[in-house]
A and B are shown apart, each in its own frame.
Chain A
Amino acid sequence: AQSVTQLGSHVSVSEGALVLLRCNYSSSVPPYLFWYVQYPNQGLQLLLKYTSAATLVKGINGFEAEFKKSETSFHLTKPSAHMSDAAEYFCAVSSAGGNEKLTFGTGTRLTIIP
């Protein structure tokens, strides 16, 4: 069975500050890991994904995430927050690169303080 834990259901950062959203996973097989973003009243948009190539993955909008097997973590970061980053972020795990079910975390709502 696979699972994802997102630490912190709400995170607030000041505009221009570092964004760090935490995700820990549990998987009995090598995982595929994803970060999705959801803006209000919209569907989910893929930010980035890890598929066992490079451990540091760069995504859209300046976000990146690092896969750390020893820590079973896949934290999402962005060096400088922008007001447009305010949204809900979901970490997800799959055993087959997205061709099978995605198991989502409970989400982290990111608020940007002007």
Chain B
Amino acid sequence: DAGVIQSPRHEVTEMGQEVTLRCKPISGHNSLFWYRQTMMRGLELLIYFNNNVPIDDSGMPEDRFSAKMPNASFSTLKIQPSEPRDSAVYFCASSFTSEGTQYFGPGTRLLVL
């Protein structure tokens, strides 16, 4: 299996620009999670989906952040407009309900100038 695929792996953008991060979960998995990792706050859950439906978005920092899962094989995390404090590594993870282990992608390293 290819594992969780994230793109791009690196993104450098200027403040105010729109940023879209993409994730392809492991085939057959029905839960998908978006995490953010920073030095100051560590690893924190932003949002997770089950069967393509958002279940808990309480970790989404503000309205500038939005996430979608239009089908079982694709999800996006969008930041509009981006700010320097959004600079972080964003991880996507997926799991299968009956097994439960979350498998992480390689992450997208975002730098907002």
Q: Which residues of B contact A99 (CB under 8 A)?
A: 31, 50, 95, 97, 100
CB of A18 closer than 8 Å to a CB of B: no
Minimum CB–CB distance from A40 to chain B (whole Å) comes to: 11
Minimum CB–CB distance from B58 to chain A (whole Å) comes to: 9
Asked if B106 and A43 sit within 8 Å, CB to CB, the answer is: yes
Asked if B106 and A90 sit within 8 Å, CB to CB, the answer is: no
Q: A46-B101, A96-B100, A100-B48 are in contact. Are A107 and B42 (CB under 8 A)?
A: yes
A106–B48 CA distance with the chains assembled, in angstroms = 21
Q: What's the A-B contact tally at a CB cutoff of 8 Å?
A: 53
Size class of A's contact patch?
Answer: 20 to 34
Which one, A45, A51, A107, contacts B104 given CB within 8 A? A45
CB of B25 closer than 8 Å to a CB of A: no
Which one, B55, B56, B101, contacts A98 given CB within 8 A? B101
Minimum CB–CB distance from B35 to chain A (whole Å) comes to: 8
Residue of B nearest to A42 (CB): B106
Q: A11-38 CB contact bits vs B (8 Å, 1 = yes)? A: 0000000000000000000001000100
Q: A35-73 CB contact bits vs B (8 Å, 1 = yes)? A: 010000011111001010000000000000000000000
A105–B37 CA distance with the chains assembled, in angstroms = 12
Looking at chain A's contact residues, the main secondary structure is loop
Which one, A46, A97, A101, contacts B103 given CB within 8 A? A46
Q: A87-114 CB contact bits vs B (8 Å, 1 = yes)? A: 0001000001111111111110000000
Asked if B56 and A100 sit within 8 Å, CB to CB, the answer is: yes
Minimum CB–CB distance from A47 to chain B (whole Å) comes to: 11
Q: Which residues of A contact B95 (CB under 8 A)?
A: 98-99
A63–B6 CA distance with the chains assembled, in angstroms = 28
A51–B98 CA distance with the chains assembled, in angstroms = 12
Asked if B48 and A101 sit within 8 Å, CB to CB, the answer is: yes
CB of B76 closer than 8 Å to a CB of A: no
Q: A99-B50, A107-B42 are in contact. Are A43 and B107 (CB under 8 A)?
A: yes
Q: Which residues of B contact A32 (CB under 8 A)?
A: 100
21 residue pairs A–B, Cβ–Cβ below 8 Å = A43-B91, A43-B106, A44-B43, A46-B103, A49-B101, A96-B100, A98-B95, A98-B99, A98-B100, A99-B31, A99-B95, A99-B100, A100-B55, A101-B33, A101-B45, A101-B48, A101-B56, A101-B59, A102-B45, A103-B45, A104-B44
